[in-house]
Structure 1
Amino acid sequence: MGKPDADGPGLPDLPPEWGRVVVPDDASALAAEAEQLRRELGGTPLRAVPPPPARSPFALALLVLLVAVLTTLAGLAAVIWPRPGRSTPEPSPTPYAPAGAAGRPLPALDLVDAGQSPVPLRGLVPAMIILVDGCPCPADVATAAALAPAGVTVVTVAGTRPVRATPPPAGATVRPLADPAGGLRSFLHLPARPGAVTALLVDRSGVLVKVVPEIHSAEDYRADLTRLAA
């Protein structure tokens, strides 16, 4: 059945306390001893580690789509998110300048006097019309009345009610009127500016000769005012 290891040629010497060791011809004869040894050591047979489950193509495609959506949202947030320290510039105010009104006929407007009676504006030409809806400015009105030649009417136009200025110089004619509908301002495309007066010089034929958006001194209109009487 087998040969003792101690008597076999070429085998190393074994400790004498092991006794006589017999190597069987059939390895299956050692199955009982191997099973007993495993029970004594408490060991269990080694098991192969199962491979990780393969991911389905649908899950992979879903992951790629999710990453793309998150990247797009992050880019949009970076563009539209308000940044500190930066503000949208405010539009510049509309310049106070006539939009080509000079040389055009004065519109057929009816203004109102202190008694709320209509007064045709064209019936007062030649005239220097001073818009005082932004400022009464009696000094500017008095200066214009003093410089106006004979036959030229100085008309002050307020917003809702006529504004009576100081008594005009002797021989001067000042006609206070009001323009509740704002027809003159709409015609000129000139909004009222606080603290400023606008002047319109109109000749005998009712043509607008000159527009002074804001009077600074009499030199802004003196020469044209003199020619209105011709």
Structure 2
Amino acid sequence: MKPCSLVGKNMQLNEDTCESNTHNELKIIYIKEEEPNDDEYLYCEDCRCFFYNKCEVHGPALFIHDTLVPMGVTDRARQTLPLGLEVGQSDISGAGLGVFNKGDTIPVGAHFGPYQGERVDKEEAMNSGYSWVIYRNGQCEEYIDAKREMYANWMRYVNCARNDEEQNLVAFQYRGGIIYRSCRPIKPGQELLVWYEEEYAQDLGITFDYLWSKKCSANGYVQTL
């Protein structure tokens, strides 16, 4: 991953004595930059490059936060909707419910999440249409399933895009969770439709392919993007 900015990186200082005499000591301080994990980067849609902490041109990323609702509350998923979003009948035939923008236009680069649900085993995740996999070092580490609404958030209702033209969200892993980023302006009345970021899926192989196919089939259609 090639970031366009590494502003704000943690740095480790090491001191070595370079030269010493009876009067003073000359010390050189070596700065060792600690590389962030891959899932600590965000992506700027305008600059078309990754950044850490903030884009040098556009500043910090915009995060649109959920409405806070305790876990275990009936119909919790809907209640967590951010201001301006609503759940309604999807425009996609057979997909059931979907999420729509009923507020101002959502700008490119807005972030939603993380996706919330219960941690389940692989078998349960494979049988659900509401699961995402969290990975570390290219290995599947845990599965987040939003099948039960009382332990999920509104992101469970976001449908998969059927093609490039209708996609307006990109799903990716960030700091151990799944985030959705707007890749196009989402106008009032438009449905939010997601597809995954290639870098997120490229190391996960058939496990992710199966989960994604299951998610798309739960929406009532076969993936074609």
Bin the TM-score by the shorter chain: under 0.3
Compare CA radii of gyration and give the structure with the larger one: 1
Q: Give 1 or 2: higher strand fraction.
A: 2
TM-score (norm 2): 0.25
Q: Give 1 or 2: higher helix fraction.
A: 1
TM-score (norm 1): 0.24
